[in-house]
């Protein structure tokens, strides 16, 4: 088992190709365990059955080798009781098979909880394409072929998983996915989609910040200082929204010097300080602020960085911000820092694109209600509810958010029930 999980993804891909190029692991409801159709992956199924950190009765994991590019593709389905599993497609290099699996498992679980707390009738899923070391991944023709292949892979899953945009994947890539599957959202407006969800995601995170500030009796964002790790697309929209709210100062770091220079010109004369940070530079964690926002990749909140924080609130756009979600939320609580769980704050990416097939209006009330304070599932309202439950029950905010989300995840789709289970079982039989 250890040897299989420790494999380099390229080596695993070669082995998967030798065993037919495709494999599936799924939750067998009769046995109450993860099983697989590939005997050589039995150790992987055993690992999933034994793991209690990232595996939460996931319904299915499907792995395949792309026929032309040779890339390793995966679809992770956590839960489909509320509806089809929805979640973005991550294109990223991984050091080991285990790191790839854990990323997909954690992210798909997070999507289940995010959609449930957002009041969406969707389940949780995640797509992954492992970026090969020798692949020309920046070449437009290679990317078109790769994403068309992922579309074909998604089509083969019969609608149990709906893919979308995520880290490493952009709007143009989603257009290529759309060429070979209907099971995709976040496609360009030119073909009837919602396009880039970054602006909506940013606005939602700012609403969560406001909820946390109100919970602590600290008033509104006007005059406050916000520190950010990461100044990418979502962060840039966050800064725009914060400036509209009258924020006193924004300090943001990023590893892309050229992007920072462009942003400096954009906000010249505004209270925005942009700092270039070399890879591994974590000085931004020690910046005194009213709200600290992790906006880059996940796993950045761990004992060392938590000890550096000089803020009463952590609320950002990144997924899976805690390196260890059973340890690090407790460390934040011990320091008296209010942590808004990522899937509470950054939901708007999936909200923006989840229901594209039902049409859009401009402005869209189905989107805008998430930014208000009256609807029961609005970002601000859910943030307050999570923080109040944590305080009332004497638990961490992650525990409170997970409990609320898992309660919602157990509510079946009002029309289709657990149709995802039937699709997975039919895939297993095939």
Catalytic residue ranges: 126
CA-to-CA distance for 254 and 278, rounded, in angstroms?
Answer: 8
Residues near 382 by beta carbon (within 8 Å), at least 6 away in sequence: 117, 118, 211, 344, 404
Query: String of b and e for 167-178 (b: at least 16 CB within 10 Å)?
Result: bbbebebbbbbb
Residue 344 and residue 377 in contact, taking contact as beta carbons nearer than 8 Å: no
HEC secondary structure over the chain = CHHHHCCCHHHHHHHHHHCCCEEEEEEECCCCEEEECCHHHHHHHHHHHHCCCCCCCCCEEEEEECCCCCCEEEEEEEECCCCCEECCEEEECCCCHHHHHHHHHHHHHHHHHHHHHCCCCCEEEEEEEECCCCCCCCCHHHHHHHHHHHHHHHHCCCCCEEECECCCCCHHHHHHHHCCCCCECCCCHHHCCCCCCHHHHHHHHHHHHHHHHHHCCCCCCECCEEEEECCCHHHHHHHHHHHHCCECEEEEEECCHHHHHHHHHHCCCCCEEEEECCCCCCHHHHCCCCEEEECCCCCCECHHHHHHCCCCEECCCCCCCECCCCCHHHHHHHCCCEECCHHHHCCHHHHHHHCHHHCCCCCCHHHHHHHCCCCCCCHHHHHHHHHHHHHHHCCCHHHHHHHHHHHHHCCCECCCECHHHHHHHHHHHC
> How would you class 198 by CB atoms within 10 Å of its CB: exposed for 0-12, middle for 13-18, buried for 19 or more?
buried
φ, ψ for residue 61, nearest 5 deg: -135, 125
């Amino acid at each position: 088992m250890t040897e299989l999980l420790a494999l380099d993804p390229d080596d695993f891909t070669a082995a998967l190709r030798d065993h037919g190029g495709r494999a599936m692991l799924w939750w067998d409801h009769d046995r109450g365990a993860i099983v697989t159709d590939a005997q050589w992956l039995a150790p992987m199924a055993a690992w999933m059955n034994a793991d209690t950190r990232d595996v939460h009765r996931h319904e299915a994991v499907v792995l395949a080798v792309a026929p032309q590019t040779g890339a390793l593709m995966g679809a992770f389905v956590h839960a489909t009781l509320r509806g089809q599993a929805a979640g973005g497609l991550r294109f990223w290099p991984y050091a080991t098979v285990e790191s790839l699996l854990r990323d997909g498992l954690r992210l798909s679980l997070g999507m289940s909880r995010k959609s449930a707390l957002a009041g969406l009738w969707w389940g949780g899923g995640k797509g992954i394409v492992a970026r090969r070391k020798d692949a020309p991944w920046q070449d437009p023709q290679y990317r078109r072929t790769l994403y068309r292949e992922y579309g074909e892979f998604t089509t083969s899953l019969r609608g149990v998983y709906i893919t979308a945009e995520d880290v490493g994947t952009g709007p143009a890539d989603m257009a290529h996915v759309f060429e070979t599957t209907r099971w995709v959202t976040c496609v360009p407006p030119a073909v009837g989609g919602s396009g880039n969800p970054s602006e909506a995601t940013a606005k939602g995170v700012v609403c969560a910040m406001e909820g946390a500030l109100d919970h602590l009796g600290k008033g509104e964002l006007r005059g406050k200082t916000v520190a950010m790790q990461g100044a990418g697309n979502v962060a840039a929209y966050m800064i725009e929204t914060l400036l509209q709210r009258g924020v006193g100062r924004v300090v943001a770091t990023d590893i892309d010097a050229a992007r920072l220079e462009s942003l400096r010109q954009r906000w010249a004369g505004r209270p925005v300080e942009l700092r270039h940070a070399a890879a591994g530079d974590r000085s931004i964690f020690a910046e005194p602020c009213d709200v600290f926002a992790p906006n880059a990749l996940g796993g950045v909140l761990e004992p060392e960085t938590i000890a550096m924080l000089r803020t009463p609130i952590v609320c950002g756009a990144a997924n899976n911000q805690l390196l260890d979600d059973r340890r690090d939320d407790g460390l934040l609580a011990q320091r008296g820092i209010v942590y808004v769980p990522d899937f509470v704050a950054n939901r708007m990416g999936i909200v923006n694109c989840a229901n594209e097939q039902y049409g859009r209006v401009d402005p869209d009330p189905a989107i805008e209600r998430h930014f208000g304070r009256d609807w029961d599932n609005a970002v601000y309202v859910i943030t307050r509810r999570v923080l109040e439950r944590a305080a009332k029950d004497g638990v961490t905010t992650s525990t409170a958010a997970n409990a609320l989300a898992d309660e919602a995840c157990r509510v079946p789709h009002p029309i289709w029930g657990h149709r995802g289970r039937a699709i997975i079982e039919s895939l297993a039989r095939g």
